[in-house]
């Protein structure tokens, strides 16, 4: 939901008003009574906090903006200062060149020793892919500030999607000794251990803080997890395929999906390739290109904005790329934005598209950040249909994160009971290895990695990790 809030904040006020008027009035959720309505998140986590200074909302940065922002920071309470730091760090990381106007000799002379200014310096370095420099700046600041918030912030450049797991583990082990009671550092350490393929140690760390996680995830969010657990149990018992949930009546609705698609289109084309949507664009384009080599067609299940498919199609002109999403509007938008002779889009259920294919062409399937919202039976049937229709390769990028229900990480390949469990709000974790094996595919590549999130401080994102798998059909 954090993405949806970000989308809403960036829309012009007249557009927001039109959307609000068009939306049906949502029923008031009947949560169980709670004796404490406060956000259970650690104060500095600032989960769900509105960015108090969004660079894109405010326009070009300037020395005046910096002076005013630092003045506000200096008079704010600690939680407010940290929320400001997170929001500004996020924006500068995504759009690092936007900070050029304030990272000057003049500003450095005035504010170079100020913690907020130094976080901006680190954020720009991260956005430019200078991970070591970003870490060095934040690490020195953490040593001086002596707060758990700064210690956790310094871990962010190490907790990038892949390649720095060992360094992240060593750093977080040391900081967890300095701040042994800090929940966020402990979860970050467990996540780093998991991404470093030390699952047993990761779960041992989570076990130490289970009471604190219980307190954090109690109340309305805990009630939601209970409902999600019941939904999955019923779907497994009934072997249900089609799922309808809250997003289908809001952001995924046919007449509203453009409000979801437009920001993706903007973010994928403008954000730094080292963080979030800029990173996803580059990563997906590379994987789609790899999958497309040596096959006639690549089908992307849950394509949303097809910028990565477009880039892959430009590289592999002899391969046909087909983006599939449920809404016809999504197909229309992609058809408007991405025009090549070897790219096409369909607004349909993926299984209907696959079942309609004739024998002949060699094919591959790709899905990313999509199956997590699907019932397991849908994924099982999809993989089986792909095997029957001659698909030779399947690639996927999905979460394989800390279950906010079971309080543990899972290894795929038989570790997950019934091959599916719940992850967090509206999302599931599936055992893709087991499902692919059952359909006749053998794993050829596995990359476990941190989430591309910039600042994983919200309680909803704790323990976020992803896996990229490739599988080849057995002959």
Q: Per residue in 102-128, pLDDT tens?
A: 899 999 999 999 999 999 999 999 999
Give the number of residues written for the chain: 475
- Domain final position from 136, 153, 170: 153
Distance of alpha carbon 303 from alpha carbon 350, whole angstroms: 11
Same domain, 228 and 137: no
Q: Answer yes or no: is 195 within a domain.
A: no
Q: Answer yes or no: is 162 within a domain.
A: no
Same domain, 243 and 385: yes
- Cα–Cα nearest to 323, from 392, 370, 389: 370
What tens digit of pLDDT does each residue of 347-384 get?
Answer: 999 999 999 999 889 999 999 999 999 999 999 999 99
Burial label for 258, CB within 10 Å (0-12, 13-18, 19+), is: middle
Q: Answer yes or no: is 25 within a domain.
A: no
Cα-Cα-Cα-Cα torsion 89, 94, 98, 102, nearest 10 degrees, comes to: 20
CA 297 to chain CA centroid, Å, is 27
Same domain, 141 and 234: no
- Cα–Cα nearest to 405, from 223, 237, 244: 223
**How many other β-carbons are positioned within 10 Å of the β-carbon of residue 301?**
25
Distance of alpha carbon 374 from alpha carbon 368, whole angstroms: 12
Residue scoring higher pLDDT (141 or 97): 141
pLDDT of residue 83: 86
Burial track 72-82 (b if 16+ CB lie within 10 A, e otherwise): ebeeeeeeebb
Give the strand order in the sheet containing 320-325: 343-347, 320-325, 297-301, 363-368, 391-399, 465-473, 441-450
Same domain, 241 and 137: no
Q: Answer yes or no: is 364 within a domain.
A: yes
- Domain final position from 111, 136, 153: 153
Same domain, 149 and 228: no
Q: Rg of the chain's alpha carbons, rounded to an integer? A: 23
Band (pLDDT 50/70/90 cuts) for residue 101 is: confident
Same domain, 273 and 392: yes
What tens digit of pLDDT does each residue of 246-271 get?
Answer: 777 777 889 999 999 999 999 999 99
Q: Answer yes or no: is 335 within a domain.
A: yes
Mean pLDDT of the region 64-72? 92
Q: Answer yes or no: is 130 within a domain.
A: yes
Band (pLDDT 50/70/90 cuts) for residue 220 is: low
Same domain, 121 and 261: no
pLDDT of residue 458: 65
The total of structural domains in the chain comes to 2
What tens digit of pLDDT does each residue of 34-67 get?
Answer: 333 333 333 333 333 343 334 444 456 788 889 9
Same domain, 458 and 382: yes
Same domain, 342 and 424: yes
Distance of alpha carbon 190 from alpha carbon 267, whole angstroms: 30
Same domain, 117 and 227: no
pLDDT of residue 459: 65
CB of 304 closer than 8 Å to CB of 335: no
Same domain, 370 and 447: yes
The tokens describing 133, both together, are 């420099």
Band (pLDDT 50/70/90 cuts) for residue 16 is: very low
CATH code for the domain in which residue 261 is found: 3.40.50.150
The tokens describing 336, both together, are 């408007």
Per-residue HEC secondary structure of the chain comes to: CHHHHHHHHHCCHHHHHHHHHHCCCCCCCCCCCCCCCCCCCCHHHCCCCCCCCCHHHHCCCCHHHHHHHHHHHHHCCHHHHHHHHHHHHHHHHHCHHHHCCCCCHHHHHHHCCCHHHHHHHHHHHHHCCCHHHHHHHHHHHHHHHCCHHHHHHHHCCCCCCCCCHHHHHHHHHHHHHHCCCCHHHHHHHHHHHHHCCCHHHHHHHHHHCHHHHHHHCCCHHHHHHHHHHHHHHHHHHHCCCCCCCHHHHCCCCCCCCHHHHHHHHHHHHHCCCCCHHHHHHHHHHHHHHHHHCCCCEEEEECCCCCHHHHHHHHHCCCCEEEEEECCHHHHHHHHHHCCCCCEEEEECCHHHHHHCCCCCCCEEEEEECCHHHCCHHHHHHHHHHHHHCCEEEEEEEEECCCECCCCECCCCCCCCHHHEEECCCCCEEECHHHHHHHCCEEEEEEEEEECCCCCCCCHHHCCCEEEEEEEEECC
Band (pLDDT 50/70/90 cuts) for residue 168 is: very high
- Domain final position from 124, 153, 182: 153
Q: Answer yes or no: is 204 within a domain.
A: no
pLDDT of residue 371: 98
Same domain, 116 and 240: no
Parent domain of 76: 41-153
pTM (predicted TM-score)? 0.87
**How many other β-carbons are positioned within 10 Å of the β-carbon of residue 210?**
11
Residue scoring higher pLDDT (458 or 320): 320
Q: Answer yes or no: is 193 within a domain.
A: no
Residue scoring higher pLDDT (384 or 455): 384
Sign of CA dihedral 214, 220, 226, 228: negative
């Amino acid at each position: 939901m954090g993405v949806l809030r970000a989308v809403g904040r960036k829309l012009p006020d007249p557009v927001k008003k039109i959307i609000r008027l068009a939306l049906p009035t949502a029923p008031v959720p009947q949560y169980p009574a709670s004796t404490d309505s406060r956000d259970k998140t650690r104060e500095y986590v600032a989960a769900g906090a509105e960015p108090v200074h969004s660079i894109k909302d405010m326009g070009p940065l300037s020395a005046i903006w910096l002076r005013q922002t630092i003045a506000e920071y200096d008079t704010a309470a600690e939680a407010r200062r940290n929320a400001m730091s997170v929001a500004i760090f996020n924006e500068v990381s995504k759009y690092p060149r936007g900070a050029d106007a304030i990272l000057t000799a003049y500003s450095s002379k005035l504010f170079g020793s100020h913690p907020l200014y130094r976080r901006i310096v680190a954020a720009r370095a991260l956005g430019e892919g200078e991970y070591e420099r970003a870490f060095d700046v934040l690490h020195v600041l953490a040593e001086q500030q002596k707060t758990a918030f700064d210690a956790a912030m310094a871990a962010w450049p190490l907790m990038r999607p892949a390649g720095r797991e060992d360094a992240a583990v060593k750093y977080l082990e040391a900081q967890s000794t300095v701040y042994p009671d800090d929940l966020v550092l402990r979860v970050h350490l467990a996540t780093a251990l998991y991404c470093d393929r030390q699952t047993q140690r990761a779960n041992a760390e989570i076990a130490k803080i289970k009471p604190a996680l219980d307190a954090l995830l109690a109340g309305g969010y805990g009630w939601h997890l209970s409902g999600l657990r019941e939904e999955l149990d019923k779907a497994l018992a009934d072997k249900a395929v089609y799922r309808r949930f809250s997003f289908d009546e809001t952001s995924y609705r046919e007449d509203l999906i453009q409000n979801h698609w437009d920001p993706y289109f903007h973010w994928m084309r403008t954000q730094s390739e080292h963080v979030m949507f800029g990173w996803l664009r580059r990563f997906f384009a590379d994987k789609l290109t790899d999958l497309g080599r040596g096959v006639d067609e690549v089908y992307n299940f849950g394509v949303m904005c097809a910028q990565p498919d477009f880039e892959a199609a430009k590289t592999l002109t002899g391969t046909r790329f087909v983006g599939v999403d449920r809404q016809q509007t999504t197909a229309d938008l992609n058809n408007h934005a991405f025009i090549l002779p070897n790219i096409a889009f369909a607004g349909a259920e993926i299984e209907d598209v696959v079942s309609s294919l004739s024998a002949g062409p060699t094919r591959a399937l790709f899905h990313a950040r999509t199956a997590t919202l699907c019932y397991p039976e849908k994924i099982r049937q999809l993989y089986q249909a792909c095997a029957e229709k001659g698909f030779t390769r399947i690639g996927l990028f999905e979460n394989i994160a800390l279950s906010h229900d079971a309080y543990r990480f899972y290894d795929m390949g038989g570790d997950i009971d019934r091959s599916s469990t719940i992850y967090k709000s509206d999302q599931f974790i599936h055992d893709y290895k087991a499902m692919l094996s059952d359909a006749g595919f053998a794993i050829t590549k596995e990359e476990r990695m941190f989430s591309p999130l910039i600042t994983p401080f919200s309680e909803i994102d704790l323990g976020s990790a992803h896996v990229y798998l490739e599988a080849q059909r057995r002959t």
